[in-house]
Amino acid sequence: MQGQAGFASTSGGAGAAAIGRAQTWTSAHLRAATRSRRGFYRLVGFIVASLSLLVFFGLWMAGLLPQVRDGIDNTRRNTLMGMGFTVERIDIIGEGYLPEYDVRAALQAREGDYFFDLDLDAAQERLETLPWVEHVVVRRLWPDRLVVQVIEKRPAAVWQRSGRLSLIDSAGDIIGRETDVRAYALSDTLPHLIGDRANLHLASAQSLIDQPLVRDRLRAAIRVGERWDLVLTEDLTLQLPVASPATALSDLARLHDQTRILDRRIAVLDLRLSDRIGIRPATTPAS
């Protein structure tokens, strides 16, 4: 019992000593504040800092800091919008394949918005997910314009799979659907690839399509397993080998120069064997 009383007495003494030190410190600063301007400013600064700290911890404990921050942001935003910091124009610069409404939807900004609301990096990332887009630059032009410059992918071929048409770029990636093929009449100017995975072999098809014998005659390149069949304008199909198809076309070009074989009524020329050519004549239409 005596030990407990002694402990209580010690604790009470420590508390009283702490209060006494605080009172001494306060009295000293009050005296300093009355004697000099510097001391007064120091005391006022201490009081303001203490009150601010108390308010901060009070708001933090109550979970109100996010609401306070949002309120400050909204006040600042509304003030700046009232001063004219709004989007008045959105200029979209591109080559014309990508519809403007798709760009605006991905941009997620419109006329009348707060000028600094748009996250330019995030907007650029969204725009670069659009099928036609190779690269995008989004920037603000002071005082009220947003400019979107779109660099579009170049269509390299029309790909047909299961009866559906798609536009593909030089990497074989789809950049436009059947509506784009029809809208821009691209099927008349681009190579036509047919087959489930034909788009993945565009480079090998292009090396054959560029052959002088084929370039002005090609109607379609059909992927058959690991090789190509080329359908020419004369309804003639060239069955190419898996290995060295360009060599087979070069040999056929020399043969054509000598015999004009491509001008004859032939349905299929089988070039899959290196030492011979298989020929299937075209059927004669009924008279």
pLDDT of residue 123: 94
Confidence of residue 52 (pLDDT cuts 50, 70, 90): low
Pick the more confident residue, 70 or 166: 166
Average of pLDDT values for 114-128?
90
Q: Answer yes or no: same fold for 89-152 and 157-281.
A: no
Q: Tens digits of per-residue pLDDT, 167-180? A: 889 899 888 777 67
* pLDDT recorded at residue 6: 46
Q: Which residues are paired to 224 by β-bridges?
A: 227
Alpha-carbon gap, residue 80 to 83, rounded angstroms? 5
What is the Cα–Cα distance from 261 to 269, expressed in whole angstroms? 10
- Higher-confidence residue of 230 and 29: namely 230
The pLDDT value given to residue 10: 47
User: CATH: 3.30.420.280, 1.10.3720.10, 3.10.20.310, 1.10.1270.20. Which one for 89-152?
Assistant: 3.10.20.310
Q: What is the pLDDT of residue 162?
A: 86
**Per-residue pLDDT tens digits for 71-93:** 555 666 666 555 656 888 999 99
Q: Does domain 157-281 have CATH number 3.40.50.2300?
A: no
Residue count (the chain): 287
In 3D space, the residue among 95, 104, 230 whose CA is nearest the CA of residue 176 turns out to be 95
What would the pLDDT profile of 192-237 be if each residue is shown by its tens digit?
999 999 999 999 999 999 999 998 899 999 999 999 999 998 889 9
pLDDT for 47 beyond 60: yes
Domain boundaries, the chain: 2-63, 89-152, 157-281
**Across 24-32, average pLDDT:** 58
* ∠ CA 14-15-18, rounded to 5°: 85
Question: Count of alpha carbons within 13 Å of 39, Cβ hemisphere only?
Answer: 12
Average pLDDT for the chain = 79
